[in-house]
Every structure is written in structure tokens, then in C-alpha cells.
């Protein structure tokens, strides 16, 4: 990881927790303590089981968060982009990260140490309240994902993933703005790489998606939504 020094006051990530609370006078003393790094593509910056070193906020780039499952298999539990928060699972309740995280592309990360984050939470109620709502929302998403995986077949899980990354990252020139390998798609959808490849091939034959290298483009959002509508798909 290489040092970088983006300035919070000029950051364009309006959904970042830090950025959203810069208007509070007390926040100014804390942003001076942050450390910022560039994590190169495919490198990891959080090791599962490592000692917690605070929270990370994505300044620019994309990150996958993983959890090791049965037989050491990697399960992708979250995909994140500019402004998102990384490392909150286990923060404040344990000493070790419950997840790992690595960059999907060259990514600029702002890190606030445990000590700094705890001071912010103790001294800035508005920030603490916003983080509490964030945790509640993430818990709700996790419970919904568990339910969906239990009830969806393989094709439906892959379709659900494609619609999710389409919503989160958008499309540029007809292709979703994130590059995921077929294995990463399988790891997120909870299936095997072979099954993921088969489903993607069938979706292409059905003229619902297109592919250019690793990138995928959605050609028929309404049709894909209809395939998982019974599982209560919400935009």
C-alpha cells in the first residue's frame, strides 16, 4: 500500500460518514488523525482474524469483503465503492476482524484508528446515531440475504447478484461498472464456478445479458427482475 493524501473537505463522496459530519466543529480535530493509503488491485488490506485497526472509508475504488466458510472456501459477503465503510463487522465488540477485504481495482482508503473512532462515537452523538442506523440496515440486509440464499435456486442467485451490482455500480457503455471473475460471481452467489459459468452462458443465450471479457451488461432488467419477483425483489 502506498501513501496518498486526499482532503476530506474537498472529497466528493457525500455518502461517506466522515464527509456527512464535517459540518460539526468537533469533527475537524479527528480528520487530522486519519491515515490514507492506496491499495493496489488484488491486494488485501484487512486479513480475517487480524487485530482490528479501526474503520476504513473508500475514497475511490472498489473493494470486496470476504468471509471464510466451510473447508476454507471464500464467501464474498459485500461489494463496496466510493464512500462506503469497511471493517465495521466486529468493531467495538471484539479485538479481531471478522472479515477480510481486498481491492478489486486500485483503491484509495482512509483509515481512522480504534482510538479515534471511539472518541468520535463518544463525543459526536449525530455520528453515533447515523452509525447505529447503518448497523441496523446492514443487519436487515444480512438476514434478507440468508433467507434468499435458502430459497433461491442457482440461476436465481446469479440473477439476484447481477441485478444487485447493476443497481450499485451502474452501467457504462452498456456494461456494469465493476469487473468480477466468474469465481468471484460464484463466491458471492453461493455456488460453484462451473455453475456460475453455465448460468451466465444460458442468460446470454436468452438475450438477457451480454459479456465483454470479465464484464457483464444487463440487456433486459424487467425480465431478470421477474425471475426473482417471488422472492420480494426491491429496487
Closest alpha carbon to 56 in 17, 95, 22: 17
Q: What is the DSSP string of 2-13?
A: EE----GGG---
- CA 184-61-233 angle, to 5 degrees, is 55
Query: What backbone phi and psi angles, to 5 degrees, belong to 68?
Result: -80, 125
Starting at the edge strand that comes first in sequence, how are the strands of the sheet with 63-68 ordered? 44-46, 100-103, 63-68, 74-80
Please state whether 90 falls in left (phi above 0), alpha (psi between -120 and 50) or beta. Answer: left
Q: Output the tens digit of pLDDT for each of the chain's 235 residues.
A: 544 556 888 888 988 989 999 988 889 899 999 999 999 999 999 999 999 999 999 999 999 999 987 777 888 999 999 999 999 877 766 788 989 999 999 999 999 999 999 999 999 999 999 989 988 988 888 887 777 777 899 999 999 999 999 999 999 999 999 999 999 999 999 899 999 999 999 999 999 999 999 999 999 999 999 998 876 654 4
Identify the residue whose cell numbers are 452523538: 125
Cα-trace Rg, the chain: 19
Amino acid at each position: 500500500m502506498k501513501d496518498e493524501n486526499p482532503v476530506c473537505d474537498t472529497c466528493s463522496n457525500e455518502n461517506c460518514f466522515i464527509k456527512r459530519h464535517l459540518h460539526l466543529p468537533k469533527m475537524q480535530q479527528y480528520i487530522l488523525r486519519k491515515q490514507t493509503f492506496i491499495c493496489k488491485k488484488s491486494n488485501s488490506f484487512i486479513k480475517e482474524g487480524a487485530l482490528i485497526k479501526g474503520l476504513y472509508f473508500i475514497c475511490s475504488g472498489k473493494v470486496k469483503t470476504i468471509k471464510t466458510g466451510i473447508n476454507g472456501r471464500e464467501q464474498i459477503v459485500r461489494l463496496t465503492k466510493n464512500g462506503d465503510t469497511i471493517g465495521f463487522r466486529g468493531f467495538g465488540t471484539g479485538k479481531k476482524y471478522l472479515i477480510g477485504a481486498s481491492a478489486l481495482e486500485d483503491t484509495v482508503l482512509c483509515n481512522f484508528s480504534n482510538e479515534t473512532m471511539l472518541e468520535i462515537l463518544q463525543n459526536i452523538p449525530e455520528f453515533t446515531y447515523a452509525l447505529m442506523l447503518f448497523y441496523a440496515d446492514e443487519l436487515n440486509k444480512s438476514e434478507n440475504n440468508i433467507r434468499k440464499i435458502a430459497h433461491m435456486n442457482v440461476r436465481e442467485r446469479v440473477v439476484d447478484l447481477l441485478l444487485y451490482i447493476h443497481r450499485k455500480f451502474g452501467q457504462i457503455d452498456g456494461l456494469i461498472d465493476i469487473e468480477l471473475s466468474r469465481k468471484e460471481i460464484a463466491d458471492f452467489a453461493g455456488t460453484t464456478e462451473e455453475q456460475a459459468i453455465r448460468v451466465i452462458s444460458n442468460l446470454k443465450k436468452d438475450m438477457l445479458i451480454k459479456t465483454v471479457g470479465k464484464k457483464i451488461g444487463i440487456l433486459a432488467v424487467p425480465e431478470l427482475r421477474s425471475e426473482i419477483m417471488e422472492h420480494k425483489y426491491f429496487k
